Amino acid sequence: MNTVSLAWRNLLRNRRRSLMTLIAMVLGLMAILLFGGYIRDINYAIQTDCVKTTGHLQIQHKDYFRFGSGNPAAYGIANYERILKAVKQDPELAELVTVVTPTLQFGGIAGNFSAGVSRTVWVNGSVVEDQAHMRLWNDYGRRILSKHLSLAGTPLDSAVIGTGVARVLQLCSALSVPDCPPEAAKPAADGAALDNDIAALATRTTAPEAAATPGQPRIEILATNSRGAPNVSAVNVLRAEFQGVKELDDVSVSLHLSQAQRLIFGAAPPQVTAIVLQLKHTAQIPQARKRLETLLSTTFKDESLAVIDYETLNPFYGQTLAMFNAIFSFISVLIGAIVLFTVTNTMSMAIIERTVEIGTLRAIGLRQRGIRAMFVTEGIMLGCFGAVLGLGAAMAGERLFNLLHLSWIPPGRVEQVALSVRLTGENTLMIGSAVALVIVAALSAILPAARAARMNIVDALRHV
């Protein structure tokens, strides 16, 4: 208690120096926490985007993720409706899952044959109502600025394409796409440039509802069906949307699942390439995965299926988190070094000013470990006060920053995203940073304290 009392009085003896040191510690901790809260918010934002589009877990053919993107018929799920029913009716999974929906993805060729142009595309067929439900997932209570799905409530022969696809297919005028080259003159009659063999395929495979809609551009999608023969489907293009990444924007075509299945499987039993599961909470992934693997190894043991999580499906997620964690660690080390040298300088100045006092304490019997304990206690007290005030300043900074309701468009996105800091509830981050500050402050005082303890008593008493 005497050591603590002496340390407290010594800190108050030179209030200005102690205050400046405390301010440096508070600002350092505040900067670390605000940046850490910003990284946490980015983490939750990317995770939310991944879960909205690909779900938490997907059931796929065990080799589809590595080899099946170019051959959906060979690596598809034939009895997907049975699996959907089993997952929805399973008592344990029913408590965890919010959406279970099939998807079909494959490569093909999209053509605007009336203009004599075509290009390779990547087609995504989905149940639009389920996808719209998935976009409502917001487990972290983020401020959502995204728009509804363009395919929601549209006819089954509708499609949404990337702006890059629209430019190549010369649909800029019809879809109001900017930055396009001059379009070539089109034939007088729609479809006049469509080759006879492709026209025959389109006529044979197009569903009755796929009639041309006045004022809407129309394209044909050519793909290889399940028997290895070419198949064509004509669709009406609702709009062109930038996909955020040029490589994806140049190939993206979104269809209704039934239209995509008809294109690949025709009159044969339809399949899908994945069954997407969106859970109520990300923390439920291990429990849901274990139950799914049990189902696949018992009820569907004859099927070659595997369960893949969203981190595996979206490598960008893990890479982004690793990058931000490295940046956070680097900044934390820099700020920690600044705090360390600041406290060390404060302790060193205090020792110089209190040399006679140190000699007097040693002369009346205080041992070296008592001197060391006194100065280390001062450093710990500075660290504790800095940690408490830094936590309070960081929480106030979080509230002020979030009240500004800022937004930005991050790389790979096409819509505004809320720019915010998340510290509330991040107890591990806050407590860990505060404890680290106290440890740095204590370490900063060790070297000056050891130097003070080694002072010669006689030299210290006659110090002027």
303, 329, 350 - which closes a domain: 303
| One domain for residues 186 and 295 | yes
| One domain for residues 331 and 368 | yes
Q: In this predicted model, what pLDDT tens digit does every residue of 441-455 receive, in sequence order?
A: 888 888 888 888 888
Distance CA 377, CA 383 (A): 10
Average pLDDT value for residue range 264-272:
87
Higher pLDDT, 284 or 192: 284
In a domain, 313, yes or no: no
| One domain for residues 434 and 328 | yes
Residue carrying structure tokens 């990300």: 282
Question: How many domains are contained in the chain?
Answer: 2
In a domain, 79, yes or no: yes
Distance CA 311, CA 56 (A): 8
Q: Is 205 helix (H, G, I), strand (E, B) or coil?
A: helix
In a domain, 56, yes or no: no
| One domain for residues 120 and 267 | yes
| One domain for residues 362 and 431 | yes
Q: Is 436:340 a contact under the CB 8 Å cutoff?
A: no
| One domain for residues 189 and 90 | yes
| One domain for residues 207 and 285 | yes
Q: What is the pLDDT of residue 291?
A: 95
Higher pLDDT, 385 or 212: 385
Phi, psi of 278 (to 5 degrees): -110, 125
Per-residue tokens: 311: 């981190």
pTM, entire model: 0.79
303, 336, 366 - which closes a domain: 303
Q: What is the pLDDT of residue 209?
A: 45
| One domain for residues 27 and 81 | no
Expressed as residue numbers, the domain containing 390 is 2-47+318-461
DSSP class of 421: -
Lowest mean pLDDT among 152-161, 221-230, 260-269: 221-230
Tell whether the model's pLDDT for residue 256 goes beyond 50: yes
Residue 415 binned pLDDT confidence (cut-offs 50, 70, 90): low
| One domain for residues 199 and 247 | yes
In a domain, 260, yes or no: yes
| One domain for residues 178 and 212 | yes
The number of beta carbons lying within 10 Å of the beta carbon of residue 388 is: 13
Q: What is the pLDDT of residue 464?
A: 55
| One domain for residues 386 and 437 | yes
Q: What is the pLDDT of residue 205?
A: 47
Q: Where are the alpha helices (DSSP H) in 244-314?
A: 246-249, 257-265, 285-298, 310-313
Give ∠ CA 231-233-239 in degrees, rounded to 5. Answer: 145
In a domain, 55, yes or no: no
Distance CA 174, CA 167 (A): 11
Q: In this predicted model, what pLDDT tens digit does every residue of 168-178 receive, in sequence order?
A: 999 988 888 88
245, 277, 303 - which closes a domain: 303
In a domain, 58, yes or no: no
In a domain, 345, yes or no: yes
In a domain, 309, yes or no: no
| One domain for residues 343 and 234 | no
Tell whether the model's pLDDT for residue 266 goes beyond 70: yes
